[in-house]
Amino acid sequence: MSSRRAIGIDLGTVYSCVAVFQNGNVEIIPNEQGNRTTPSFITFTNNERLIGDEAKNQISMNPKNTIFGFKRLIGHKFDDATVQADMKHWPFKVINDRDKPKIQVEYKNQIKLFTSEELSSMILAKMKDIAEIYVGKKISEAVISVPAYFNDSQRQAIKDAGAIAGLNVLRIINESTTAAIAYGFVKKISGEQNVLVFDLGGSNVNVTILNIEEGIIEVKSTTGSTYLGGEDFVNRMVEYFVKEFKRKYNRDLLHNKRGLRRLHTACECAKITLSSSCQASIEIDSLHEGIDFYSKITRECFEELNADLFRSTLQLIEKALHDARMNKTSIDEIVLVGGSIRIPKVQKLLQDFFYGQELSKLMNPDEAIAYGAAVQAAILTGDKSEELKDFLLYDVGIETVDCIMTTLIKRNTSIPTKQTQTFSLTSFPKSQSGINIKVFEGENSMTKDNNLLDSFEFSDISLNSGDGLEIEVTFDIDANSILLVSVSDKTSGKEKRITITNKKECLSKDEIEYMISDAEKYKKEDKIRRNRIEVKNSLESYCCNMKTTINDEKLKDKINIYDKKKMLNALENILTWLEKNQFAEQEEFENKLNDVEKLCSSIMKKPYLDENDTGKMSGEFSHGEPSE
């Protein structure tokens, strides 16, 4: 067994999950509340930063500073249509900072701007903390999942987020691939199987077809959309009820951010209810301008609202089958992943599409991705020995004369992979000192219709050699889908290598270092906050338990009235003070605790209480020290 301990993280848009491989099994790690998934929510207040369940509970009270869905911003520019569409549904402010979308919040009475990478790093750091508490040791390595259709710059952004969180990211892996790994590990597949993974999450849908044989997993095709998922189904419900509210009360809810957020939360609950019931209720007191809103929605109505979205998932399946050169009957197993897969209509459409074939419900769809990521982490750290063959998502190539896209590596090629091609000098646009190399990804024949990854100049070459000069271009893609481009002049032997990072979209080294420093500051603040809360809880617990014991019938004749009144007054004063001073400093809580303990201890030691009484009381009021 490897001495290294790496975790698998499903960094979800709505919920995140962390798992670890130990003692021969994968263990999904619960958070402090005992939940096996953690909301990808962050709240900033005048006093503190909250992450996870605590943050999501603040959404109605502090909508402008409770941040969620930021994963949808990764790798996008502010003016992208998808970003502008998302902003309409968010109660917090997104601003344009040199074409990059940044989220603006008020934290400790100051305006702060955060990138999606920085916010993602906070969730990753939270997952890391949850895992460290569970395994009882420091963790520095992780495998992190991403939607299959994340491009190069988006994957690099997640690696950057991992670095900011203090993690060495061993592998960026496709969500659907990790689900297949989990399925293969749980079912212990023998022989060969074609598996279709249907992943319907909070903000994306992915369809991946894999071949699994003797522990080797090979991706045959993938397709999907990063803008179709459970959030879109909920938003359709929100729009439906906004119209109903206006029809009933002639009031427009669209400009009430707090009201919209409360309605969104109610619709989330209704979506979950409709997976097991035929009807759900919406009950919100004082939703807008003092109006109480009560309504109902049937499963049939919900299905009609989202009928086109549900059907569009089948088009993705057809494309995946076409790309894999398979038909419906070629699929041996259909694995369901993602919380929205529980919607009955989605399951029925899938089953009907595959001629009534049973859907695999072997794994918890909320946990399958983290499960598979943990298995992959174990493989990479030497705990397991299975082979994974991932694939390239898009064609990658270079621009040659007349803006032609010349592909070096085709999409769906297994990775890691390496490909070399030789070009004549006339293939490239020239500058005064050399040639321009532009690297693109995409399936279109003209580069203007594809995504520019990076460009650089290959200079000081033999431009005077005429058309006979040969330029050798090599694309080397590693297991994380990171592309290394090498260009060499075959005449002079001069070579240039560059790792494609899409610098315009990715964080610079200085930005990452600054964010790492910031993350350390937040970590220290979180530690101070945890210790402060522990002491506050100890003080509150001591006072409540002491009050209960003082009023115990067995002790009422053993403490004189004056001492009893003195203790009760002191305890009541502290509890009243606590209600008004929830954010007092740790030292203040400690002083209050020491003072009340001294008072009660001095009375407990009086001769009219025997040893059994004082032992009973002191045992009930012991409290732990705050964690380091």
The string of pLDDT tens digits covering residues 417-426 is: 889 998 876 7
Instruction: Answer with the residue of higher pLDDT: 435 or 575.
Output: 575
Taking the CA atoms of residue 251, residue 257, residue 259 and residue 264 in that order, the dihedral angle to the nearest 10 degrees is 110
Contact 55, 41 (CB under 8 A): yes
Max mean pLDDT range (204-213, 229-238, 579-588)? 229-238
Q: What is the pLDDT of residue 3?
A: 64
* Choice among 324-333, 432-441, 471-480 with the minimum mean pLDDT: 432-441
Please name the residue that has the structure tokens 């599409």: 353
Asked if 89 and 203 count as a contact pair (C-beta separation under 8 A), the reply is no
**Residues 113-123: tens digit of each pLDDT:** 999 999 999 99
Cα distances (angstroms) measured from residue 545 to each of 45, 450, 603: 31, 67, 16
Instruction: Judge contact between 421 and 397, C-beta under 8 A.
Output: no
pLDDT bin (cut points 50, 70, 90) of residue 625 is very low
Residue 388 is inside which H or E element, if any?
strand 387-391
pLDDT of residue 626: 45
Q: What proportion of the chain, given as a percentage, has pLDDT over 70?
A: 90
pTM, entire model:
0.71
Residue 225's pLDDT band (cuts 50, 70, 90): confident
**pLDDT at site 335:** 93
Lowest mean pLDDT among 15-19, 128-132, 485-489, 593-597: 485-489
pLDDT-derived band at 195 (thresholds 50, 70, 90) equals very high
Q: What mean pLDDT do residues 282-301 have?
A: 96
State how far the Cα of 603 lies from the Cα of 597, in Å rounded to an integer: 10
Give pLDDT, residue 628. 44
For residues 203-224, average pLDDT: 85
Output the six-digit token pair for 245: 């509210």
Sheet holding 192-200, edge to edge: 333-337, 192-200, 205-213, 216-225, 387-391, 414-415
Residue 391 has what pLDDT? 66
Q: Any alpha helices (H) in 47-173, and if so which ranges? A: 53-56, 81-87, 116-135, 152-164
Q: C-alpha angle with apex 45: 42 to 49, nearest 5 degrees?
A: 45
Average pLDDT over residues 524-543: 88
Task: Give the pLDDT score at 495.
Answer: 84
The yes-or-no verdict on residue 613 having pLDDT over 70 is: no
pLDDT in tens, 352-393: 999 999 999 888 999 999 999 999 999 888 765 455 556 676
Across 171-194, average pLDDT: 86
Whether residue 251 is predicted with pLDDT greater than 80 in this model: the reply is: yes
- Residue 624 predicted with pLDDT over 60: no
Q: Tens digit of pLDDT for each residue in 70-96?
A: 999 998 899 999 899 889 889 999 999
Ranking 132-141, 277-286, 289-298, 581-590 by mean pLDDT, the lowest is 581-590
Q: Mean pLDDT across the stretch 516-520?
A: 79
Vertex 373 angle, CA 370 and 375, to 5°: 115
The mean per-residue pLDDT over the stretch 200-229 comes to 85
| Predicted local confidence at residue 516, as pLDDT | 77
Residue 510's pLDDT is what?
A: 73
Rounded mean pLDDT, 235-245: 97
Helix (H, G, I), strand (E, B) or coil at 3: coil
- Asked whether 154 and 162 are in contact (CB, 8 A), the reply is no
pLDDT of residue 388: 53
Average pLDDT over residues 242-265: 93
Cite the active site residues.
10, 71, 175, 199
Domains of the chain: 6-228+309-388 (3.30.420.40), 230-308 (3.90.640.10), 392-499 (2.60.34.10), 529-620 (1.20.1270.10)
pLDDT reading at 287 higher than 50: yes
**Is a pLDDT exceeding 60 seen at residue 464?**
no
Q: What is the 3-state secondary structure (H, E, C) of 469-509?
A: CEEEEEEEECCCCCEEEEEEECCCCCEEEEECCCCCCCCCH
DSSP-derived letter for residue 343 is -
Q: pLDDT: is 529 or 614 the higher one?
A: 529
Question: Mean pLDDT across the stretch 465-480?
Answer: 77
User: Across residues 309-334, what is the average pLDDT?
Assistant: 95
pLDDT band at 28 (very low <50, low <70, confident <90, very high): very high
More confident of the two residues 506 and 490: 490
SS3 at position 102: strand
pLDDT digits (tens, 9 = 90+) for 260-269: 999 999 999 9
pLDDT interval class at 593 (50, 70, 90) = very high
